[in-house]
Structure 1
Amino acid sequence: MLMPLFFLLTSAFNVPPVEVTEHFTSIPLSYQVQVLQTEQDISFQEALSAAEKGLFSTPSVGLVFPGGPHYYWAQFNVKNQTTVTKSIFIEVRNAHLNHLEVFEYTGNGFDYASLGKTGDYLNFDSRPINYRFFAFETKLMPGEMRSFLLHTDKFNESIKFPIAIHTGEGFFSTLSNESALLGGYFGIYSLVVLLLLIIVLSKPSLLNISLLFYVVGFSLLAYSNSGMGFQHSWPNMAVFNSLSRSIFASIASVSLMFFAYASLDLNKKRHSTISTFHRIFTLYVFLNALLFIAYYFLVWLQSPYLTHFNVLVLQLPMGAQFFYLMLLSIYLTMTQRKINHLLFLLAISGVALASLVFFFEQIGEPIIDFAQEQIMLGALVFDFAILSSLVGIEFYQIRSRNRSLADSLNKAIVEGAENFLEGQHIERSRLAQQVHDGAGVKLSALQMQLSVLATQDKQQQQKLIQTVSTIAEDIRNYAHNLSPIILEKYGFIDAIEEVVDSLNIEQKALKIIFEHDQSTVHKKNVERELYFICLELINNALKHSEGTEVLIQFTTTSTEWCLQVKDNGEGYDAMMGKNSGIGLQGIHWRLQLLNSQMLTYYKQGIQIHQIKIPYFSDVKA
């Protein structure tokens, strides 16, 4: 009886225990753990018996194992070296283990207890502690040493179950620090998604939409892979965390192929060999993604057909996809030397770095678990930033091209308008000359003939002479308005003074005042437009204001000409569209050509029209 008990005790303690001292907070286990792999599930008592027989061994490459036998028992010991009772937290840093249970026992193993049974195949609320990974709590009395057996499995896949031992202080400190850091990463992911969403809404395209789906898919994959996934939202839905991982990985994988198609300009060479191969490979990735999702649905349904699937075969195309995209971007960068090809290569390199860390983990290289997680999340930030810059560059180039086209169109419109105004001026001058030299001269001759005409009815003769004189004056004014000679010879100030003096003589209902600072307009076309704008505003006041006075003010500054026309009439609200007839529309059209606009408002009984024209007006001098 004593011999079996001796072997049992020595097998239980043939690895050094984790010693909890006064300064101890946390430690990841390595050589302190022995592991047993089995092809069939065994009970706790059978695992103890295997330990008695020395079947447990210390892994040479850490707690990472390839696919194959998928039932595992890990044995380790913890000793409280302090003089107070200590809360001990056993953390298993993998949120995707199928089942997980931790047993604690002392001595010969007859006195044992389960700290809880949980796992990805069970509901989230089965976890002893609400935590992104799996954690179990126990208490050790002063000087007490206790042994633990951890039982887990992962069907048909490689498995890792890094174990860490914490005191209460160490566990909650780690929880707080990691949560803050992970929150920062996912905050960055959310910001990138928001920016891409704005870009997609403003300009939907294959490039923008595919990148949005890629970033969303990969961000949610990282979120669920970190253990912070959607089991929190659906605590009663078993396997949902692993199922969501496969869905998000598939979305990201397929979206990346579409994004590569657009960003590497393969869509512009649809009949090339590379473009054709890429479309075929994209179809292959899409079909494989459907099978990958179907596999986890079968896991969720606990289907007996799972034995016909090898998940490693389904995961292989995802690795091949990144290898293919890296080779493709290297080839295009070397042959075409475009910035978008180089940026895509850098982005894929970031994902390759994350994949390399995962690869080393799969072959058993010891990597600190949280450091590995940081490398992968940081690589995604780098990847998202580079790929988003591709969209940003494309967006900027499109906006630049649109702006250039708009500038060219505006320039063509302005040049056309300038040519139109110049032609209008020439035609006005020609018509004015014809009217003056034709009808004007003939009416003067007719007036002379009437004055020497022998007739007995002198009163009727004078009446006819006066009528002809009035018609001649109207024609002269018409010719003057078409092409004012004073404007062409003496400039804007003299021309407006002549108009004001003439109107004050012809009508008495409205007093017109012209104030100026003797400035000149050194651009002839600007001078003409100002003249006709001023005439239209005066005419508008005469017809519509019903006031008694119009004040015209013309001044200059170091950068612009300023024209202001005021009247004390009833006024109008420019925003309401009143009086926005052909005349005012013509004013606004002329002002557009002068890079200016008119400010119109009614204040304290005064209707004000204010115009400022910059010296650098585009209208040709």
Structure 2
Amino acid sequence: MNRFRCFWLCVWLSHAAWAQSGTRPLLVGASTLPSGELPLREALYHFEDTTGKLTIEQAVERQKKGQFGLSSSLTVRQDFGYNTAVQWLYFELETRQKASLMLEIEYANIDDLELFSIRNGVIQSLGHTGDRFVFSQRPYINNNYVFPLRLLAGERTGYYLRFDRPNAILSFFIRLWPRTIFLHTDRDEYFAWGIYIGIICLVLIVAVVMLLATKDRIYLWFGLYIHFMTMHLFSDAGLGFQYLWPNTPHINEFAPVYLYIWAAMIAQLTFMQFFIRQTAQESRIYRWNNGFKLIVLTTLLVVIGIQLSDVAGRELFLYKFIASATRYFVIALITLTALSLWEHKRRSSLRQQEKLVRYYTYALLIQFSGFVLVSLINLCQDKGWPLPFDVLTYVIMGVTVFLDIVFFSYGLAYRYRVARQTNRTLELDLLTAHQQTQQRVIGALEEERQRLAQDLHDDIGPTLSVAKGYLSVLTRTEKTDRLMHAQTLLDEAAHELRTLSHQLMPRHLEQTGLAEAIDETIRKKSGMGTQFQFISLGDVKRLPAQTERLLFGIATELIQQVQHHSQATEATVQLIYHPGHLNLTVEDNGPAQPAHHDERSVPHLLTKAEFLNADLVIEANDQGHTVMLTVPFPTT
């Protein structure tokens, strides 16, 4: 019976003590959440200081008087909406054994933050920090605000958290962790950030390489979009302050979270214009897009200018203006992008372009879904509406940016592949047109050669024969030296005419083949200065008639140049048939200076070689000259 009375007396005393303090302590080690953190939500008490001048001693007095009310948040997120006052949170911890804890404020953009502890009536500050102080002033180096807590066995300690972020939305997560679990979770979070940033850097390097290789500015704007969105995430998560400007907290006053998202909008819209090849000549939305980009850029510069001007009351004006402008900019961006894609799809007649636009639309739906979700969360926070779930906006944006990278990178790869296929088709068409033009020109030249040969054979040849007949009659009665010399000249002219006519239009080329035609030409050249030798090796393979005529023309041209210009005494012509190609080689023992390959003949030979898809090699040394033509056999 006495034990029963003692039990109820203890219960009554503990209840009386709790009623006097007005708060319920959190027993450390009694329970934990699935994540490993301690359930701090039902142990938090809140007080709003509208004057902004409340000291810690005055806050303690108000807490003892029961003026701190239990936090109404349904989650570990504390939502205060649009804030104009200084906020206080209070909680008590009790432990039966020694404990090392970490209090984490998961929000990087609080201006002023200080944690006090009350132990045995002694008030102690555990850290005074915020994004208006240098980063090294934080009690624990972390992108969020973290305060180490140390409890002794059987000790009950009260904690007062004072935070101030006027003229802005104030919403953050407050978590209490056992130190070992926090260190493990924090390490995993930084590791995930490292992988994420590594992927971003890799994508940016690829974008720079593609920009330098292709000179296509779409990769510049793609890289700028990824950069600005990453800097937005860095600013929102506190990593920018930690790693980029830790000793310049003044940068945080410019609201880089919003300014970077505005710059990303400009880059995003320009990237879209390059992606769908939107131009002023083909699109009526083009000027609206450029006008929107100019408005965003002007607004960005105005905000920076106002912040630099140090005008009184600018914080209140800037935040409301920036928040409202961001929402309107998001709506305008979505509208202009949708109109641009609809217009391009309506005008595009290429199936590949339609597929590209459709794919880009799917990617934008994911991106804009993230923007809209973040805007709705910000609206709920602005109005102070409680959210039924715990999620950080930069986590949503991080996932959105990652999906952007995946989808847009694939879209750029597909766009590059389509562009290469288009360029390859254009190059093939151009090459085909060039070959057809060459073929028509060479065909016309061949017809002209045949006509000239026919005229020489039918007109000038008979005329020379008649003149020779008249001279023959005269030499019968009067044999003078002049008449005999004139008859010799006529004989040489007739011989040269027959040779030239044969070279221009060999009668038996189509019947006997290339080797026999060249051999016949060389036999007719024998005994006329240079001693020629002809060699033909390999299994003879007939080529198209036009190809053989061109090769015969090249061979006779080279033979004539050796005979008249090289000052050579010996020359060799080789025609060698290989399994896949044909070699035509002309060698002589003339002087080292290739006088017979002058500025007119070499381009002429190169043109014919190009038409035949052949390789032409011309060499000159002390032993003479060598011209080798390698002609591939046509594929069947």
TM-score after normalising by structure 1 = 0.82
Q: Between 9-18 and 600-609, report the one with greater CA deviation.
A: 600-609
2:439 equivalent to 1:418 = yes
Superposition deviation, residue 194 in structure 1: 3.7
Superposition deviation, residue 282 in structure 1: 4.8
| DSSP-derived class of the 1:105 partner | strand
2:113 equivalent to 1:91 = no
Superposition deviation, residue 496 in structure 1: 1.8
| DSSP-derived class of the 1:222 partner | helix
Report the CA distance shift for 1:169/1:555 in structure 2 as closer, same or farther (over 3 A).
Answer: farther
| DSSP-derived class of the 1:120 partner | coil
Equivalents in 2 of 1:17, 1:332: separation in Å? 62
Aligned to 1:553: 575
CA contact (8 A) 2:617 2:628 kept: yes
Report the CA distance shift for 1:48/1:326 in structure 2 as closer, same or farther (over 3 A).
Answer: farther
The within-5 A match list for 1:150-549 is: 150-201=161-212, 210-229=221-240, 231-241=242-252, 243=254, 244-260=256-272, 267=279, 272=284, 281-294=292-305, 297=308, 301=310, 303-309=312-318, 310=320, 311-325=322-336, 328=339, 338-358=354-374, 359-360=376-377, 362=381, 363-369=385-391, 373-389=394-410, 391=412, 395-453=416-474, 454-508=476-530, 511-538=532-559, 543-544=565-566
Superposition deviation, residue 419 in structure 1: 0.9
Q: Between 565-574 and 490-499, report the one with greater CA deviation.
A: 565-574
Q: 1:470 is aligned with what amino acid?
A: E
Q: Which of 597, 600, 606 is equivalent to 2:615?
A: 597
Superposition deviation, residue 579 in structure 1: 5.3
Deviation digits for residues 224-249 of structure 1, max 9, x if unmatched?
A: 22222155233221142463333322
CA contact (8 A) 1:554 1:562 kept: yes
Q: Which of 80, 84, 106 is equivalent to 1:65?
A: 80
Deviation digits for residues 503-543 of structure 1, max 9, x if unmatched?
A: 454344x5534222241323111112222333445556665
Q: Between 313-322 and 465-474, report the one with greater CA deviation.
A: 313-322
Q: After TM superposition, which residue ranges in structure 1, 4 or more long, deviate above 6 angstroms?
A: 203-206, 333-337, 570-574, 601-606
Superposition deviation, residue 123 in structure 1: 1.8
Report the CA distance shift for 1:43/1:475 in structure 2 as closer, same or farther (over 3 A).
Answer: same
CA contact (8 A) 1:28 1:163 kept: no
| DSSP-derived class of the 1:66 partner | strand
2:113 equivalent to 1:135 = no
Equivalents in 1 of 2:433, 2:161: separation in Å? 79
Deviation digits for residues 482-511 of structure 1, max 9, x if unmatched?
A: 222232442212112223333454344x55
Superposition deviation, residue 569 in structure 1: 5.3
| DSSP-derived class of the 1:324 partner | helix
Q: 1:96 is aligned with what amino acid?
A: N
Superposition deviation, residue 113 in structure 1: 2.4
2:582 equivalent to 1:562 = yes
Deviation digits for residues 374-430 of structure 1, max 9, x if unmatched?
A: 442121122244345555555555554444443333222211111111111111011
Q: 1:476 is aligned with what amino acid?
A: R
CA contact (8 A) 1:78 1:147 kept: yes
2:632 equivalent to 1:613 = yes
Q: 1:98 is aligned with what amino acid?
A: D
Q: Between 7-16 and 253-262, report the one with greater CA deviation.
A: 7-16
| DSSP-derived class of the 1:60 partner | coil
Equivalents in 2 of 1:327, 1:460: separation in Å? 97
Equivalents in 1 of 2:488, 2:567: separation in Å? 32
Superposition deviation, residue 187 in structure 1: 2.9
Deviation digits for residues 240-299 of structure 1, max 9, x if unmatched?
A: 246333332221123334445565676457785x6666565555544444455456556x
Superposition deviation, residue 72 in structure 1: 2.0
| DSSP-derived class of the 2:82 partner | coil
Q: Which of 101, 107, 121 is equivalent to 2:120?
A: 107
Report the CA distance shift for 1:549/1:470 in structure 2 as closer, same or farther (over 3 A).
Answer: closer
CA contact (8 A) 1:87 1:167 kept: yes
CA contact (8 A) 1:435 1:479 kept: yes
Superposition deviation, residue 158 in structure 1: 1.0
Deviation digits for residues 308-341 of structure 1, max 9, x if unmatched?
A: 4424323332342355357647866997794454
Q: 1:246 is aligned with what amino acid?
A: Y
Aligned to 2:50: 39
2:90 equivalent to 1:75 = yes
CA contact (8 A) 2:110 2:163 kept: yes
CA contact (8 A) 1:545 1:571 kept: yes
CA contact (8 A) 2:613 2:631 kept: no
Structure 2 residue runs of 5 or longer lacking an equivalent are 1-12, 349-353
CA RMSD of aligned residues (A): 4.1
Q: 1:611 is aligned with what amino acid?
A: T
Q: Between 218-227 and 71-80, report the one with greater CA deviation.
A: 71-80
Equivalents in 1 of 2:89, 2:17: separation in Å? 21
Report the CA distance shift for 1:341/1:504 in structure 2 as closer, same or farther (over 3 A).
Answer: same
The percent of aligned pairs where both chains have the same amino acid is 19
| DSSP-derived class of the 2:168 partner | coil
Equivalents in 2 of 1:578, 1:463: separation in Å? 31
Equivalents in 1 of 2:477, 2:561: separation in Å? 45
Equivalents in 2 of 1:31, 1:334: separation in Å? 55
Q: 1:97 is aligned with what amino acid?
A: I
TM-score after normalising by structure 2 = 0.81
Report the CA distance shift for 1:585/1:616 in structure 2 as closer, same or farther (over 3 A).
Answer: farther
CA contact (8 A) 2:135 2:241 kept: no
CA contact (8 A) 1:231 1:241 kept: no
Deviation digits for residues 153-181 of structure 1, max 9, x if unmatched?
A: 22211122322334443333333322232
Aligned to 1:586: 604
CA contact (8 A) 1:99 1:119 kept: yes
Query: How many residues are aligned here?
Result: 601
Q: 1:415 is aligned with what amino acid?
A: Q
Equivalents in 2 of 1:392, 1:578: separation in Å? 53
Q: Between 426-435 and 175-184, report the one with greater CA deviation.
A: 175-184
Deviation digits for residues 13-34 of structure 1, max 9, x if unmatched?
A: 445546699x996458433433
| DSSP-derived class of the 1:565 partner | strand
Equivalents in 2 of 1:64, 1:29: separation in Å? 15
Equivalents in 2 of 1:573, 1:230: separation in Å? 74
| DSSP-derived class of the 1:67 partner | strand
Equivalents in 1 of 2:149, 2:629: separation in Å? 83
